[in-house]
Amino acid sequence: MRSTRTFGFHLLAGGLSVLWLLPILLVLTTSVRSFSDIASNGLGALPASFTLDGFGQAWGEGGGGHAMLNSLLVTIPTVLLALLLSSAAAFALSRYEIPFRRTIILVMLAGNLLPPQILLVPVAKLAELLGIYDTLTALIVVQVGFGLGFYTFVLQGFMRSIPGEIQQAALIDGAGVAQIFWRIILPMTRPALAALGALAFTWTFNDLLWSITVLRTGTVMPVTPALLGLQGQYVSNWNVIAAGSVIAAVPTVAVFLRFQKHFISGLAIGAIK
Amino acid sequence: MAVLTAERPKTAARAPKRRRRISPVLLAFVLVPLVVEGFWVFWPALQGFYLALTNWDGVSAPTFVGLGNFAEMFSDDIFKTAALDTVLWLVLFGGLSAVGGLALATLLQRERRGVGFYRAALFTPVVFSLVATSLIWQVIYQPDGVFNKVLGAIGLGSWQHAWLADPKTALYAVLVPALWRQLGYVMVLYLAGLKGIDPALYEAAKLDGATAWQQFRNVTWPQLRSVNSVVLSVIIIDSLRSFDVVWSMTKGGPYHSSELLSTYMYATAFQSLRLGYASALAVVIFVLAFGVIVTYLVRAFREDS
């Protein structure tokens, strides 16, 4: 009885896992097939070739390498800036009696929950007005601004749980506000920062909507919107398109594997808190 | 020890002093992020609401038309399709990912051999961008792709289809990849919630002779209440934001059959350059999302106090 149930569990869970991984396997095999193999045998056929040409084309001619550089130039500053600003706000709002602090936190969170659609047109015009439309700077500031509310909300929840004695001891030692923040509270917030950092990296890197709102030229596009361009450029060269998707997925998968524990707990933060 | 006790009254006396005057550093800590968010979120949002009451091509000055844009929606067939599809999407995407995510979490709740692998497998797509996800699935959906091949192989050749090119199937064909990616996310939220349930409750239920279903109904479900409201908010917000996957697979087509309000809004703004009407569409999306946000905030607020 027990072994049948265990078997049933593994059959069900294993079957689902295989079903979930099949599309990934399929895109991996498609990415290493040759164009002629796909053209003559069909996209759904078993692979009869192995070549890295698709990767070469997606990375080189297809602009994948350049787009990857753009992505990192946007994602890394966005994550650092957003976390720095939001942890400063979270520190002040969670550790000090700032008037209306609860209202401020909720208003900031509400900004993040706004549907981005309401912001698209004005944000594009604002970027034009400031002369930063179609630059990576615009994409960075927009994403920092939009993310701040959520990051602040999560970080202040975490910082509130740090015992007050530590801060008082530092205060007695004559530490200023900035020192308490930088030397004491921030290091203690590391687990939450790692979780949010991993999440923010993925969100920023995977963004499409903000990119195609404040950017127009193909050469400044990060990887995610560039994939759409790749699709237009290589219509039916499925090996190149598949290789492009694999390239686009590598950084976020790497971050996920490196910060796996933090990543999952980060996603769950909202659920438990 | 003596030093510590001597210090205590001093700090207590100092605390109210700190309250009276906020140091400029602290003020900057709050104001700088607030100004950044205000400038890039709240200020544009206000403009968005104003623009919804105008006609604007983005070049000449906007002309005020009052509620004209909203009146126009009533006679706009594409709007009707998009609104219906958005509601359908909300129900299907939201409902299926909530039910499926909870089912997966219940299945993979207990720590046992292999469970880590199964969870990881189901979670993997969550880290892909929706654009990459949609390209992966386009490979599958192509007329000569794997999906049709499998249908042919199992004797369902007559079902073979250009899934994304047929107005009847396009929306559902887009829904599948979206669910493929969302289910693992919802599963993780529920796993966290299930972990927080006191095992003693199950022990007590078992002692009372409760069946598996009764345990779920009377222990698990009530205990998941707070997670449920988070999942609900996440799902509704995500489904109203399901722009990426539709835009990269069908751009809302063919013949607007997979059009959502979000894709229609984007196309109206940046392709038709009808910025006023697009802003009005955004307001409709906002109103849909608003209910959820309010519930979310009320809940957050209640937990805060």
Which residues of chain B have a CB within 8 Å of the CB of A256? 127
CA count, 13 A, side-chain hemisphere, A85: 23
Tokens at A149, concatenated: 């509310």
pLDDT (tens digit, 9 = 90+) per residue, A214-268?
999 889 999 999 999 888 888 888 899 999 999 999 999 998 888 877 777 766 6
Give the torsion sign (CA, B224, B227, B231, B237). positive
- Counting beta carbons within 10 angstroms of the beta carbon of residue A38, is it exposed (0 to 12), middle (13 to 18) or buried (19 or more)? buried
* Cα-based distances in Å from B69 to A13, A122, A183: 50, 17, 54
CB–CB of A13 and B115 under 8 A? Answer: yes
Read off φ and ψ for residue B64, nearest 5 degrees: -75, 130
* Cα-based distances in Å from A224 to A58, A260, B69: 13, 22, 33
CA count, 13 A, side-chain hemisphere, B124: 19
- Could you tell me the pTM of the whole model? 0.86
Q: Which pLDDT tens digits describe chain B residue by residue (305 residues)? A: 333 333 343 344 444 444 557 788 999 999 999 999 999 999 999 999 999 999 998 888 888 998 989 999 999 999 999 999 998 998 899 889 999 999 999 999 888 888 889 998 999 998 898 898 999 998 889 888 888 888 888 888 778 788 888 888 899 999 999 999 999 989 988 988 888 888 888 889 888 888 888 888 888 888 887 787 778 777 877 777 789 999 999 988 788 889 999 999 999 999 999 999 999 999 999 888 777 667 666 765 676 55
Kindly indicate whether the ipTM for this predicted assembly is greater than 0.90, answering yes or no: no
CB pairs under 8 A between A and B: 304
The residue of A120, A167, A214, A233 whose CB has the most chain B CBs within 10 angstroms, and thus the best one to mutate to test that interface, is: A120
Torsion angle of C-alpha atoms B262, B264, B266, B267, degrees rounded to 10: 160
Helices (H) and strands (E) in chain B, counts: 17, 2
* Cα-based distances in Å from A66 to A207, A224, A233, B10, B88: 17, 12, 15, 60, 39
CB–CB of A119 and B123 under 8 A? Answer: no
CA pair distance B129, B158, nearest whole angstrom = 33
A154 close to A196: Cβ distance less than 8 angstroms? yes
pLDDT (tens digit, 9 = 90+) per residue, B276-290?
999 999 999 988 877
CA pair distance A244, A230, nearest whole angstrom = 8
Which residues of chain A have a CB within 8 Å of the CB of B69? none
CB–CB of A97 and B18 under 8 A? Answer: yes
Tokens at B279, concatenated: 């802003």
B101 close to B231: Cβ distance less than 8 angstroms? yes
Tokens at B57, concatenated: 């091509």
CB–CB of B47 and A248 under 8 A? Answer: no
CB–CB of B140 and A26 under 8 A? Answer: yes
Interface of B with A in 179-208 (CB under 8 A): 180, 184-185, 188-193, 196
Which of A180, A176, A175, A172 is CA-nearest to residue B10?
A172
- Three-state DSSP at B62 gives coil
Which of A12, A38, A267 is CA-nearest to residue A154?
A267
Tokens at B181, concatenated: 């990616």
CA pair distance A16, A9, nearest whole angstrom = 11
Tell me, what DSSP letter sits at residue A134?
T
CB–CB of B139 and A26 under 8 A? Answer: yes
Tokens at B96, concatenated: 């299926």
